[in-house]
Each structure stands twice: as structure tokens, then as C-alpha cells.
């Protein structure tokens, strides 16, 4: 039982960390796109 609970908690933590990493990458990509648009004009 404890082993299963530990495994589920580890999977949940990895999922949340992965989502934050992808979200951060999306924000960085958006900032880069905004910079390119400002520089091009």
C-alpha cells in the first residue's frame, strides 16, 4: 500500500514539474517572438 502511494506521488510530482517546464518554455518563446516583432519594425 505504501509503495503504491509513493509511486503515485512520484508520478504526480513529475507531471507537475513537467507542466511547469513546458509552461516556462512557452513564456520564453512568447517573449522571444515579441522581441523579434519589435526589432523588425
Each residue of 11-39: pLDDT tens digit?
888 887 777 777 788 888 888 889 888 88
Predicted local confidence at residue 25, as pLDDT = 80
HEC assignment per residue over 1-41: CHHHHHHHHHHHHHHHHHHHHHHHHHHHHHHHHHHHHHHHC
**pLDDT bracket for residue 7 (50, 70, 90):** very high
Predicted local confidence at residue 12, as pLDDT = 85
The residue-averaged pLDDT of 6-11 equals: 90
Predicted local confidence at residue 6, as pLDDT = 92
Predicted local confidence at residue 27, as pLDDT = 85
Amino acid at each position: 500500500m505504501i509503495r503504491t502511494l509513493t509511486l503515485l506521488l512520484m508520478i504526480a510530482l513529475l507531471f507537475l514539474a513537467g507542466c511547469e517546464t513546458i509552461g516556462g518554455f512557452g513564456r520564453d518563446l512568447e517573449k522571444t517572438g515579441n522581441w523579434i516583432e519589435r526589432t523588425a519594425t
